[in-house]
């Protein structure tokens, strides 16, 4: 008997208006209509919560809003059918179903770990981007039973483990990944010893300090970017992060360009002061996170 094909981790949530929504890791719940599950209520934040895959479980993590289960405020929810999660008083989500396959499909580039596929993914400018982009070189999506890929003007075809995908000047190996390996690592440290880092975020400035060394002060957009990530419990879609930094800008291409510039300048600053460059990490699929090692000390005054 053939082994079952890699599946897709996702959750089905019932919104306050009764509509059912299927969300995958990285999807947002919030007040904006662009959210995967929009909740148009003034008590709900624009980027209220995020669906995340951690250690083989689907979690709901608060971003700019609070979550409560059974009247108790919680810092994360391990999603299970039958739960009711409150975003605000009288604004609840019901967990209808949770799908956790034993393995998922992933793409492994020439550098970095494999990146699990969750929802629609575009290959644009040589990288993987969450969502559909009209200018992409290829598109990947799930039918629920299989994964399909379309390259350029070619018709869509099944995507299977073991093949190689070449698009947009980049190359990826299609691999099968155990679900427990598909989410972000707890530390991303990969065995090396890194000195403890103290991060004090004041929003418009961030102080970085290592034992026996002076303070490195970030300011401007770089400080705001780090402060936003300090306030979030895990990886966040780049569009959400950029929207917090430039709330009046709606052009996605312009937002992405501005964010890339800030990230590049931030990494140059970290490199110049001998601070680990993976402090802020992008995973190639549109997620950005602050990499927190166990020995780090973080203070959020933002």
User: Are residues 290 and 237 part of one domain?
Assistant: yes
Q: How many domains does the structure of the chain reveal?
A: 3
User: Are residues 148 and 174 part of one domain?
Assistant: yes
Per the domain annotation, does 5 fall within a domain?
Answer: no
Return the percentage of the chain with pLDDT > 70, whole number. 93
Please identify, among 99, 124, 150, the residue that sits at the C-terminal boundary of a domain. 99
Helices (H), 114-237: 220-230
Per the domain annotation, does 4 fall within a domain?
Answer: no
Per the domain annotation, does 186 fall within a domain?
Answer: no
pLDDT at position 75:
84
Domain that holds residue 240: 197-300
User: Are residues 175 and 219 part of one domain?
Assistant: no
Q: Which residues contact 49 (CB under 8 A, 6 or more apart)?
A: 28, 29, 30, 60, 61, 62, 63, 65, 67, 87
User: Are residues 205 and 143 part of one domain?
Assistant: no
- 65: pLDDT strictly greater than 70: yes
How distant, in Å, are the alpha carbons of 9, 146, 216 from that of 49?
17, 28, 31
CATH code, domain carrying 83: 2.60.200.20
- What is the C-alpha to C-alpha distance for residues 180 and 144, in angstroms, rounded to an integer? 20
Average pLDDT along the chain: 85
User: Are residues 226 and 168 part of one domain?
Assistant: no
pTM: predicted TM-score of the whole model, two decimal places: 0.69
What is the rounded average pLDDT of the residues 190-199?
66
User: Are residues 90 and 107 part of one domain?
Assistant: no
What is the rounded average pLDDT of the residues 277-287?
78
pLDDT at position 191:
42
- 21: pLDDT strictly greater than 90: yes
What are the pLDDT digits (tens) for 225-259? 999 998 877 788 888 888 889 888 878 778 888 99
pLDDT at position 240:
83
- 184: pLDDT strictly greater than 70: no
pLDDT at position 158:
92
What are the pLDDT digits (tens) for 195-222? 788 999 998 999 999 876 789 999 999 9
What are the pLDDT digits (tens) for 73-89? 888 899 999 999 999 99
User: Are residues 278 and 223 part of one domain?
Assistant: yes
Per the domain annotation, does 146 fall within a domain?
Answer: yes
User: Are residues 201 and 294 part of one domain?
Assistant: yes
Please identify, among 40, 65, 99, the residue that sits at the C-terminal boundary of a domain. 99
């Amino acid at each position: 008997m053939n082994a079952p094909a890699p599946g897709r981790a996702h959750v089905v949530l019932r919104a306050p208006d009764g509509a059912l929504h299927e969300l995958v890791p990285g999807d947002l719940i919030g007040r904006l209509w662009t959210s995967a599950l929009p909740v148009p209520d003034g008590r709900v934040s624009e980027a209220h919560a995020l669906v995340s895959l951690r250690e083989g479980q689907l979690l709901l993590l608060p971003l700019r809003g609070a979550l409560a289960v059974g009247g108790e405020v919680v810092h994360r929810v391990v999603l299970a059918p039958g739960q009711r999660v409150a975003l605000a008083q009288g604004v609840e989500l019901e967990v209808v179903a949770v799908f956790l396959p034993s393995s998922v499909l992933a793409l492994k580039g020439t550098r970095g770990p494999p990146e699990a596929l969750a929802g629609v993914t575009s290959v644009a400018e040589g990288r993987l981007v969450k969502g559909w982009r009209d200018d992409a070189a290829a598109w990947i999506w799930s039918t629920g039973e299989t994964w399909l890929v379309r390259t350029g003007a070619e018709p869509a075809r099944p995507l299977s483990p073991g093949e190689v995908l070449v698009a947009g000047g980049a190359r990826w190996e299609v691999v099968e990944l155990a679900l427990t390996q598909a989410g972000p690592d707890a530390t991303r440290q990969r065995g090396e010893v890194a000195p403890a880092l103290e991060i004090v975020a004041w929003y418009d400035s961030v102080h970085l300090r290592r034992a026996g060394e002076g303070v490195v002060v970030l300011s401007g957009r770089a400080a705001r970017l780090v402060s936003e990530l300090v306030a979030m419990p895990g990886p966040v879609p780049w569009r959400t992060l950029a929207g917090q930094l430039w709330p009046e800008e709606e052009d996605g291409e312009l937002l992405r360009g501005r964010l890339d510039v800030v990230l590049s300048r931030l990494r140059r600053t970290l490199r110049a002061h001998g601070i680990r460059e993976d402090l802020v990490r992008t995973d190639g699929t549109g997620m950005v996170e602050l990499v927190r090692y166990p020995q780090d000390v973080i203070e959020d005054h933002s």
